[in-house]
Amino acid sequence: MNRIAFYATIKPPDHPIASGDRLIARNLMAALELAGYSVELASKFIAYSKREADDILETRKRVALIEADKFIASMKDNPPDLWLTYHPYCKAPDWIGPTVSSALNIPYVTVEAAKTGQGFEDGGDRWAKWRLEAQTGIKRADLHIALKPQDRDYLASLNGTDSNIKMLAPFINDEVPVSLPKINHPSHWRAGSPVLLSVGMLRPGKKVENYRRIAQALEPLQALHWNWIAIGDGPERDNIEGFFKPFDPGRIHFTGALSHEEVLAHMEQADLFLWPGWKEPIGMVYLEAQMMGLPVAALNSMGVPLSVHHGTTGLLALEDDPQAFNENLSTLISHPSLRDDLGKNAKRSIRENHSLGSAANRFEEVLTPLLQP
């Protein structure tokens, strides 16, 4: 059995703070194991930084290289067959993987190596030094596994070729827990009215903008019968709840933060998943919602169409067309048979195209050439 050393630059898969990055890292390890590889978490070192200060960069790099030396010393007599790093990019360069791979003479692979669009606000590039460090490591990879077309294009431009780039569809662990918590909707909610569900942290930036767009889309639809649940919490809660002050408070419900099982239980009981996905890189939550049989109302923005297929598993509107988003939402609220058809398609799409099994097959396909003697 081939052994793979796994490392995630932003946070390790077992980090206590839940996030999309942590979920993807865990799913990557699970898919690799399903493909028949022995996967070991090589390091828990966090390369990610919120600030671009030079002293932070120097400290991160120094500690990372110490980590690399420790791993090399411990594994030189029995090295893994391949090193795989998840999500090296400008704010989280990978110094460990390239160093270890070179010293142990094993293949170096990245998954979702990317380039951040941040740092150019003042006309310069505040993250230029970090970007150079990330690119230096990325260029040393034997294989890049990209999740998004824009990442593929970036890597091809950086390396001058796309010959060592393979695509992987976004995926999730599609095994639903046998028993989910019981969800009781507010007793005053009208029976038969569709339940719209949104899941997103209540924090600054993109999350606030997505909630603002939800309020903007729902406000003209108050004559229709629907109820809305928002799962998530964060420092912008008061601000975001303010977007919904013009609504009947009896049909709006903020749950706060919930466990993963409780989120899935809400998805199981809801009728429509509503999340614009403005500037959404991938949107793992769309995969989970569709796994639970929910049709999706969202925007055709960045990574959303990689997970949601317009007219098949949901309805997507152009990012700069709020009227179209509003009309799609109205259509889905008013047509239960359409929601039912899209929801059934969504479940099938996850199973066939975005499941752990489909990812395992793809990993075996693209990694086997690197592991042949």
Question: For helices 54-75 and 96-104, what crossing angle results, to 10°?
Answer: 30
What's the pLDDT score for residue 56?
98
| pLDDT tens-digit series, residues 174-199 | 988 889 999 988 888 988 899 999 99
- Which residue pairs from 115-124 have beta carbons closer than 8 angstroms and sit at least 24 positions apart in sequence? 115/89, 115/90, 115/151, 115/154, 116/89, 116/90, 116/91, 118/91, 119/52, 119/90
pLDDT bracket for residue 96 (50, 70, 90): very high
Is the fold of 3-171+356-371 the same as that of 195-353?
yes
Q: Quick one: DSSP state of residue 106?
A: -
What's the pLDDT score for residue 21?
86
The residue ranges of every structural domain in the chain are 3-171+356-371, 195-353
What's the pLDDT score for residue 123?
66
pLDDT bracket for residue 119 (50, 70, 90): low
What's the pLDDT score for residue 121?
63
User: SS3 for 347?
Assistant: helix
| pLDDT tens-digit series, residues 272-285 | 999 999 988 888 89
Q: How many CA atoms lie within 13 A of 306 on its CB side?
A: 21
Q: What is the mean pLDDT of residues 196-220?
A: 96
CATH homologous superfamily, domain 195-353: Glycogen Phosphorylase B; (3.40.50.2000)
What's the pLDDT score for residue 177?
87
User: SS3 for 4?
Assistant: strand
Q: What is the mean pLDDT of residues 327-342?
A: 98
Q: Which amino acid type is present at position 52?
A: E
- As a whole number, the mean pLDDT across the chain is 95
CATH homologous superfamily, domain 3-171+356-371: Glycogen Phosphorylase B; (3.40.50.2000)
State pTM to two decimals: 0.84
Neighbours of 342 (CB within 10 A): 26
CB 268 within 8 A of CB 195: no
